[in-house]
Structure 1
Amino acid sequence: MTIDHVDLARVDLNLLVALDALLAERSVTRAAARIGIGQSAMSSALGRLRVTFGDELLTRAPEGMRPTPRAMALAEPVRAALRQIQCLVRREDSFNPATVERIFTVSLPDSVEVLLGPRLLAYLRAEAPGVRLLLRTIDRTRILGELDADQVDLGIGLFSEGQAHHKTRLLYRDRYVCLFNPACVGLDAPISLEDYLRFPHVLTSLRGTAHGVVDDALAKLGLRRSLAVTTPSFVAVPFLVRDAPVITTMHARVAHFFAGTLGLSVSPAPVALDDVAVAMLWHASYDADPAHAWLRRTLLRLAAELENPDQSGQNSAINPVPTTTTISESGRPSRA
Structure 2
Amino acid sequence: MAIDTVNLGRIDLNLLVHLDALLTERSVTKAAACVGIGQSAMSHNLARLRELFGDELLTRGADGMRLTPRAAALREPVRSALAQVEAVVLRDQAFDPATAVRTFRLGLSDSMEILIMPALLARMRQIAPGVHFRLYNVDSSRLLDDLDADELDLAVAHGPLPQGQLHHKRRTLLTERFVCMFNAEKTGITPPISLEDYVRLPHVLTSLRPARSVRGIVDEALDKLGLQRTVALTTPRFLTVPHLVAQAPVIVTMGARLATRFSAELGLSLSPPPVELSEMPATLLWHASYDHDPAHAWLRNQVVQLAAEL
TM-score by length of 1: 0.89
Query: Which of 260-269 and 86-95 deviates more?
Result: 86-95
Q: How does 1:1-336 map to 2 (within 5 A)?
A: 1-158=1-158, 159-161=160-162, 162-209=164-211, 210-306=214-310
CA 1:92–1:224 in structure 2 vs 1: closer, same or farther (change >3 Å)? farther
CA 1:92–1:110 in structure 2 vs 1: closer, same or farther (change >3 Å)? farther
- What is the distance in 1 between the residues matched to 2:210 and 2:181? 21
SS at match of 1:238: helix
Letter in 2 for 1:280: L
Contact 2:140 2:161 in 1 (8 A): no
SS at match of 1:83: helix
- What is the distance in 1 between the residues matched to 2:45 and 2:258? 50
- What is the distance in 2 between the residues matched to 1:226 and 1:104? 40
- What is the distance in 2 between the residues matched to 1:252 and 1:279? 17
- What is the distance in 1 between the residues matched to 2:265 and 2:62? 51
- What is the distance in 2 between the residues matched to 1:131 and 1:240? 36
CA 1:260–1:28 in structure 2 vs 1: closer, same or farther (change >3 Å)? same
SS at match of 1:222: coil
- What is the distance in 2 between the residues matched to 1:116 and 1:250? 17
Residues 252-296 of structure 1: CA deviation (Å, up to 9, x unaligned): 111111112222111111110010111101111211111111111
Contact 2:203 2:252 in 1 (8 A): yes
Query: Which of 208-217 and 197-206 deviates more?
Result: 208-217
Measured on the aligned residues, the alpha-carbon RMSD in Å equals 1.1
CA drift of 1:157 comes to 1.1
SS at match of 2:124: helix
SS at match of 2:238: coil
CA 1:92–1:212 in structure 2 vs 1: closer, same or farther (change >3 Å)? farther
Letter in 1 for 2:296: H
CA 1:188–1:72 in structure 2 vs 1: closer, same or farther (change >3 Å)? same
Identity of matched residues, %? 59
Contact 1:208 1:231 in 2 (8 A): no
Residues 65-109 of structure 1: CA deviation (Å, up to 9, x unaligned): 110000011110000000011111114452101111111111111
Count of residues in correspondence between the two structures: 306
CA drift of 1:160 comes to 2.4
- What is the distance in 1 between the residues matched to 2:146 and 2:157? 15
- What is the distance in 1 between the residues matched to 2:201 and 2:15? 62
- What is the distance in 2 between the residues matched to 1:300 and 1:55? 43
- What is the distance in 1 between the residues matched to 2:245 and 2:169? 36
Letter in 1 for 2:166: A
Letter in 2 for 1:223: L
- What is the distance in 2 between the residues matched to 1:35 and 1:132? 22
Contact 2:202 2:250 in 1 (8 A): yes
- What is the distance in 2 between the residues matched to 1:93 and 1:55? 38
List runs of 5+ in structure 1 lacking aligned partners: 307-336
CA 1:92–1:227 in structure 2 vs 1: closer, same or farther (change >3 Å)? farther
Contact 1:287 1:293 in 2 (8 A): yes
Residues 141-196 of structure 1: CA deviation (Å, up to 9, x unaligned): 21111111211111101342211111111101111111111121122211111111
Letter in 2 for 1:165: H
Contact 1:241 1:248 in 2 (8 A): yes
Letter in 2 for 1:250: M
SS at match of 1:236: helix
- What is the distance in 1 between the residues matched to 2:58 and 2:140? 27
Contact 1:147 1:283 in 2 (8 A): yes
Instruction: Identify the structure with the greater helix proportion.
Output: 2
CA 1:169–1:92 in structure 2 vs 1: closer, same or farther (change >3 Å)? farther
CA drift of 1:138 comes to 0.4
- What is the distance in 1 between the residues matched to 2:266 and 2:49? 59
Letter in 2 for 1:181: N
Aligned residue for 1:316?
Answer: none
TM-score by length of 2: 0.96
